[in-house]
Amino acid sequence: MIQRDGIRVLSLYEGFFSGGARALHSTVVAGLHSMGRQRHSVLSIHTEVRREATLQRMVDDQRYRALRAAGMRISSLGRSTDGDHDPRRFTEAEMATAARHAAAAHVVVSLKEQPLRLVNQADFPDRPVVACLHRSDPEHSGAALGDLLTAADAGRLAAVVCCAESTRQAYRAAGVPDHLLRVIPNGINLARFRPVSGARRLALRGAHGLPADATVVAYAARYDAMKNPRLFVDSARVMLERDDRAHVLMCGAGMSAANPDLEADLRQAFGDRADLLRRVHLLGVRHDMELVYATADVVALTSAFGEAAPLCLIEGAMCGAIPVTTPVGDSARIVQGIGFVTGFDPGEIAATWAEAAARRGELVGALTEARARFSHVRMLSAYAGVIERASRGAGLQVARV
C-alpha cells in the first residue's frame, strides 16, 4: 500500500564522486523529490572514494550538497576505497543498515549496476528494483554485469533504464532480457545551461586570462582511459601549433597538476614547446561548468569506448559551444545537425576543432532549435513513469526510518 506521502524511493550509489552518471542521476532524483509525488532518499556504499588521483569525500561533493539542500535524506554504509574491505562481501551491520533503508522504500533504484551486488544479498528486502545504466560497454563492468544478470534472473528487476540506444543494444546483447530495457535520453536543466551575452562572454574570458579573439576548446572529462585524455592532449598540441590564438581548457577530476599521469602526458606532448603548454589551462573539478562552456567555442570529446550519451556534449552545446566528438555510443546522434564527428587521428581532430570554431556563427540557430530535445523536463517525466509502474501492484507495506 502506497503511503500518503507518495511513493518512497531509495537510490543506491556506489559513492559520491565526479562523473556524468552521478550528476545526471542526482538531477533526476532531486527533480522527482521536489515534485512531491515521490519521496526520494539515497544510500551510498562508500563515504569516500579514491579516483583520478584524488580522494573524493561524500560530504564535499556538489551533488551530495545539492540533494541535502533539496531536503533529501542521505546515508552511507561508511566504506572507504582506501579501507580494507572485500567489495563483494558485506558485514552484518552493513546489511542491517541497508535492509532498514530498503524496507522503508516502495522502490529501490540502483545508479549503474555496481550497487546490485548489495541488492543480491539474501538479507536484502524484496523490493522492485530499477537499474539505471549509463555506459555502452558492459564487458568493461567486470563482476557488475554478472550482478545485473543475477538480479534479472532472480526477478528482482522491474526495469532497466538506459540513457541511450547504444546502451540498450549493448546490454541486450550481453543477456539482459529485452522486456526490462527502457531508453530515457539524458536531459539537462536549460535554465542553467544556456548562452551568455557577448559582454559576459568577454568578461569570462578575461577572468581565465584568455584573449577576446582566442579560439577556445573546452574538454570536460575525468582522467580515465575511457575518456582518452592522451588523445586530447596530442590533438591540442597540433591545434596550438597551427593556431597561435588557440587555447584549451581541461576540466574534471584528475585534470590538474596534482595528477602525475596527466603531467607525464603533457611533458611527452609539449616537452619541446613550453610556449605552447602555456596555452593549456588545467582547471580541475569545476562547479560552474555552464560558465566554462559559455567561454568556449568548441566542446570536445575524445573518448575511446564506453560512452553512451555524454552530458558534456549536451551541456556545452546548450551553452553555445560547438560539440566535436569521436564516434562512441550515441555521440554522433547527439551532435547531428549541431556539431561534428571525427576519427581518432590528432591531426583530423585539431582540424575539426578549427572548422567548428570557424562555423560557430552559422550553427547558432541550429543550437537554439535543438534546445527542446535536451530538456530535463521530459526526462523527469519518463523516470517518474518507470518508478510509478514499478511500484504498482507490489502491495508492499513500508517501514519508517
Say how far apart CA 319 and CA 309 lie, in whole Å: 17
Say how far apart CA 6 and CA 398 lie, in whole Å: 12
The answer to whether 344 and 337 have CB atoms below 8 angstroms apart is: no
Closest by CA to 252, choosing from 64, 62, 58, is 62
Cβ neighbors of 383 (< 8 A, separation 6 or more) are 28, 32, 161, 184
Q: Do the domains 198-374 and 7-187+376-391 match in fold?
A: yes
**Whole-prediction pTM:** 0.92
Say how far apart CA 271 and CA 283 lie, in whole Å: 20
State the residue for C-alpha cell 566554462: 292
Kindly state the cell numbers that stand for 300: 570536445
CATH architecture of 7-187+376-391: 3-Layer(aba) Sandwich (3.40)
**Where exactly are the structural domains of the chain?**
7-187+376-391, 198-374
Kindly state the cell numbers that stand for 60: 564535499
* Encoded amino acid at 250, one letter: M
Per-residue confidence in pLDDT tens, the chain, 401 aa: 444 568 999 999 999 998 889 999 999 999 999 999 999 999 999 999 998 778 889 999 999 999 999 999 999 999 999 988 888 999 999 999 999 999 999 999 999 999 999 999 999 999 999 999 999 999 988 899 999 999 999 999 999 999 999 999 999 999 999 999 999 999 999 999 999 999 999 999 999 999 999 999 999 999 999 999 999 999 999 999 999 999 999 999 999 999 999 999 999 999 999 999 999 999 999 999 999 999 999 999 999 999 999 999 999 999 999 999 999 999 999 999 999 999 999 999 999 999 999 999 999 999 999 999 999 999 999 999 999 999 985 555 555 55
Kindly state the cell numbers that stand for 299: 566542446
To the question of domain 198-374 being in CATH 3.40.50.2000, the answer is yes
Classify residue 321 by its DSSP letter. Answer: P
Cβ neighbors of 92 (< 8 A, separation 6 or more) are none
